[in-house]
Structure 1
């Protein structure tokens, strides 16, 4: 198998030939058709979650492909099934899964630590999010894959493994955006553009896209945004409030994660408003919220993991919305690249040149 492996924080991933370890009785082997490159991949490479990574790790956490082998105890998928690999598993039996909160599934921790392949020097590599989609072949627990029914190409289905589900779900499932409401979205990469689409599906009357990159603001308008804000012109919270006649947004989504931008996004919401934290920030990051303002204006701050989506139900729901034309994946896939170009594609994402790059040639 060919895989892009994280060997040292802050360094490019190394594309290597690995020997896959034998699958266990609950494991599924998938021929990867496509893997999206998400900003979280860059954050992991740069050490944002250093305490959660030990030893070599196959990168990638957003993919789709076809099942080629299953363990004896696997009963959710079969050889030949098309599947989406999810960066959040859904074991179906933990206390969170049985309470319809599978996005918080307890199985993730053990999956992160399980070796999946051997390197030429004899060391073993784990897989990012328990799947490691920057590889032509991945082995994972059946809890991490969902069988789907669709003719969409893998390059588009892969986005549902993380970015699109997180963004659309943030609007539909986490914030539960109401028809006629006013929404601000800060950060318009692949996830932010998906928040915009989710807010449009939910019936938001005003959707304000905030991003310093002009091309991303233009894409946002095509995907449902009614207004755009360039934070370089003036403080974005002031611009958002001006557009909303001083009242502030009903929901504001931070899709960046840095404490300064989180605090700015909080200042965009009005009375009874909700701030939704979608972007991953530093593990020791903090931001201040004025307690009186939070209480007296009945505001809410909510975390968002995987768009609060229940993958065994919601992947197919989102696919149906794509196939009916209510959601678009076309506008999100900026380019398709080979595995050897994964580091170049990460840099293009960092510089704002692309919405989403997808690895389709391994």
Structure 2
């Protein structure tokens, strides 16, 4: 049957809403009718060619929906189940999976290199990150489906699939922030605002949010920031004034630019840690002088998918949602239709809003 999808024909071109041919699920595969999909900066990077993607492709990876049908051998979900989609399901067999790093699985990206559907003319179509959630329906691997309990809002739950798992995970797993430690979060998009909430869950103090958009200040405070600063030449001085003259114990960078990574490094105290969450361009080069690395004894580390295991961590996050410790609704700045994905990209480029959710028919607005 055919479904509607936002198709990327070539890198840098606008997404086009088209009818695509979606197959019935084969062995180990699951067909899902989407309820909601978040518009993530990684989608923009794939669309503009900053991150490589075979085309034509359907983007979208932060989604939730209901199972329509399953292929042979599928046992963990069945038709009618509510599911969250995992864009990086680990194989559980490679070296990284066997050594407790499933977020670095060597095989998790293999499914994205195989066509999953067809264009209306029969041409093969790829699913970005193996999910292809910018569509009314998609077909994914069984391992990409995580069950969502009936007492959780399925539309808001879509955010757990990337922004929340990445932002909260960066603080709790990659940085391993401890109670009373100071944290600065640079960049208050969806992931950055989730990192602010992660710092609050860790009982960090102070929690300093940094963003060029003054309209995000109140939102950051609602989610746990004790202080909100705009960037500038004196940012380091202002942060040291809030941290006993030292700098923060942890800087969480959620932008993905050499300049902001350098800022994260510079505002971190001697012996502290800067954790880099944002995915940048390979042409954007970061440099250090040979003296400062040893002198400051700081740690600079990367973070992929919150250094999390979705199968383990999503249930924990759901408990936080139920208990009111994790706020999903406040993260949603706009709810739009599938046709509005390009305007959502434009808002993201301008730095406006937190997270835009694409809401599909029958799920409300």
What band does the TM-score fall into relative to the shorter chain? over 0.9
Structure 1: unaligned runs, 5 residues or longer: none
- Could you tell me whether the CA contact under 8 Å between 2:148 and 2:154 is conserved in 1? no
| 1:100 is the counterpart of 2:89 | no
The separation in 1 between residues aligned to 2:41 and 2:199, in whole angstroms, is 21
Q: 1:354, CA displacement in angstroms?
A: 1.4
- Could you tell me whether the CA contact under 8 Å between 1:163 and 1:190 is conserved in 2? yes
1:37 matched to which residue of 2?
A: 39
Change beyond 3 A, Cα 1:206–1:30: same
Q: 1:150, CA displacement in angstroms?
A: 4.3
Q: 1:97, CA displacement in angstroms?
A: 2.5
The farther-off stretch of 65-74 and 12-21 is 65-74
- 1:158 is paired with a residue of what secondary structure? helix
2:120 matched to which residue of 1?
A: 120
Deviating above 6 A after TM superposition, structure 1's stretches of 4 or more consecutive aligned residues are: none
Alignment of 1:9-158 (within 5 A): 9-50=11-52, 53-158=53-158
- Could you tell me whether the CA contact under 8 Å between 1:253 and 1:275 is conserved in 2? yes
2:299 matched to which residue of 1?
A: 300
- Could you tell me whether the CA contact under 8 Å between 2:24 and 2:31 is conserved in 1? no
Change beyond 3 A, Cα 1:90–1:146: farther
Q: 1:22, CA displacement in angstroms?
A: 3.8
1:314 matched to which residue of 2?
A: 313
The separation in 1 between residues aligned to 2:224 and 2:155, in whole angstroms, is 22
The separation in 2 between residues aligned to 1:81 and 1:22, in whole angstroms, is 17
The separation in 2 between residues aligned to 1:201 and 1:292, in whole angstroms, is 36
- 2:228 is paired with a residue of what secondary structure? strand
Structure 2: unaligned runs, 5 residues or longer: none
- Could you tell me whether the CA contact under 8 Å between 1:210 and 1:236 is conserved in 2? no
1:275 matched to which residue of 2?
A: 274
1:324 matched to which residue of 2?
A: 323
Q: 1:303, CA displacement in angstroms?
A: 0.6
| 1:226 is the counterpart of 2:243 | no
Task: Show CA shifts across 1:123-150 (max 9, x none).
Answer: 1111111011101111111121211324
Change beyond 3 A, Cα 1:245–1:290: farther
TM-score normalised per structure 1: 0.95
Cα-Cα RMSD: 1.5
- 2:140 is paired with a residue of what secondary structure? strand
